[in-house]
Amino acid sequence: MRFRARVDGVLVGAAALMVLACAGIDPATRRSGEREDTRIRAIREAGAPRRVVLVTVAGLESGDFLEPSGFAAGPGNTTRMPLLAELAAEGTTGLLVRPPAPGSSYASHATLVTGLRPSRHGVVADEGMTPAGDRAVPYWDSRLLRGTTLWDAALGRGALALGWPTTEGARIELLVPDSAPDDPQQSWLEFVRRRSTPQLVESLEAIAKQDLSGASARSRRGSKSAAGGGESWPTPGERDAAFVELACGVAESDRDPSVWLIRLVEPSFVLATHGHGSREHADALRRADVRIGRLVDCLEAASRIADTALFVVGDVAYRPVHTEIAPNTALVRENLVGRDPRSKTGVRSWLALSRSHGRSAYVYAKDAENAVAARRVLEAEATRSGAFEIVPAADLAASGVDRQAWFGLAARPGYGFGNALTGPLLRPSEPRSRAGGFEFREGSAGTVGLVAWGRGVRSQIRAPELALVDIAPTIARLLGLRLDDDVDGRPLVGILRASQALPPPGPKRIGVGSDGDVSRTLEELGGGRDTGRDP
């Protein structure tokens, strides 16, 4: 495998690409006639793809790559993502794509690779709560994910996962998981080294060395790292760029995995800091577009684009917020939550507790009596503040969310939830935009966008409405992979030009531990942070 040998060339190519982007030059215009022919082959030739590349862009909406009128962008378009607009015009466009509820990035990514809703795949939020309620544990460990994943189904055919949630410890040939150290003194590279494929780590170290030198170091001064731990490498944008370069290394190596999973996160950090409608968000989308173009170029250069299908999709819908709601403060006041005297935010004990997902929250309770008491308290606060509504348990159950929640909370437009235990119920929100809404209540405002393009995908198809739960079955049909027989999603046969026969049923993947007990596994994992602390 020739990752390390080509790192310097990759870095030079990436630098040249970014110069073109900054100069306002569409990278697509650089393609030669011969390379254009390979793209035409990808969208016209019969047959199924050899590989499917699934890229998620945080918060991607169809309006980011379509003209303001909603039409496909043409030559000289002024969309924020011109390369993606070009692919959308040639392939399939998903206008309103429904994430699972709640709109949590980790729940969405688990749904994307299983075709199951959160109540069945077990990843019900970005963080799980231990049974004691005092620790919030991120869903990094693959043991927390139930059901057959795309990488399980592709066992023997190869898989690549870069920054994909809930992949730590997964049986993935080429892996850099989405996890980060709790200790601010530990670097991200040091943390992922033992959790990742060695050849990929070697390439990451070379890329980090380049990023941290010279003008790159000066331009990134004061930037937050992707792990949220200060100014150490990588920033979110640097991590996204590095993952694309790792994928380019795989494209030019002798490895050829059938499933590629890549997560681009920079727009979510920019949205939280600067909000919707900001120049910074538009710039982050343009950079994501350049990175997608870089990936397409690499596949073309390696003569792999003609038998590739590319799916680019948003994970969750972000919306502007100005005010944060802290429902736990009301539960503390009514003695339903006991605070830890050693911490300003920690939970000592609880009878009922709210957990935020951004624009929604779940309320957990020890029993029915305390659930009723919590609902009475929070209904009064909802009426008084006008900031949120109660979501009945029946509505939650119908949407496939966490079965342990007694009821939910949905924020009104402009509001989001926090986990603080002290202070006023309402306070200015530090994040300018937040995800985590209940799509079944928000309608089109809670949807994301999709572009599917390449071998086996029909051209010039507009899908008015679909769901993320349908993506895994569709990819499985393209590649001839067998997921669970009773998945919640359905293959989108109307967007496909080709499909492959599924293999016969085989042994099922062993799920969470030996008994599928997510709570027990969370407790065994330990770590995490105080429940009352806001993300």
Tell which residue, 88, 97, 125, has the closest CA to residue 110: 125
Q: Taking each helix axis as running N to C, give the angle between helix 198-211 and helix 236-251, from 0 to 180 degrees, rounded to the nearest 10.
A: 130
Interatomic CA distance for residues 477 and 533, integer angstroms: 43
pTM: 0.88
| Confidence (pLDDT) at 344 | 52
- Could you tell me the CA-to-CA distances from 201 to 13, 225, 231, 241 in Å, in that order? 20, 17, 20, 15
| Confidence (pLDDT) at 67 | 86
| Confidence (pLDDT) at 73 | 74
Q: Taking each helix axis as running N to C, give the angle between helix 7-22 and helix 279-301, from 0 to 180 degrees, rounded to the nearest 10.
A: 140
| Confidence (pLDDT) at 519 | 64
Residue recorded with tokens 């970014």: 18
> Is 457 in a helix, a strand, or coil?
strand
Architecture of the 4-318+444-524 domain = 3-Layer(aba) Sandwich (3.40)
DSSP label at residue 387: S
> Is 121 in a helix, a strand, or coil?
helix
Ordered mean pLDDT values, 10 residues apiece, the chain (535 residues): 48 46 44 60 84 98 88 76 93 96 94 96 86 75 94 95 96 95 87 94 93 63 52 88 98 96 98 95 97 97 95 97 97 92 73 94 95 98 98 90 92 96 96 94 93 96 95 97 95 90 66 54 62 58
Domain boundaries, the chain: 4-318+444-524, 320-434
| Confidence (pLDDT) at 129 | 74
Interatomic CA distance for residues 514 and 511, integer angstroms: 7
Interatomic CA distance for residues 528 and 41, integer angstroms: 49
Backbone phi, psi, residue 190, to 5°: -65, -40
| Confidence (pLDDT) at 530 | 60
Domain boundaries 320-434, CATH class: alpha beta
| Confidence (pLDDT) at 5 | 40
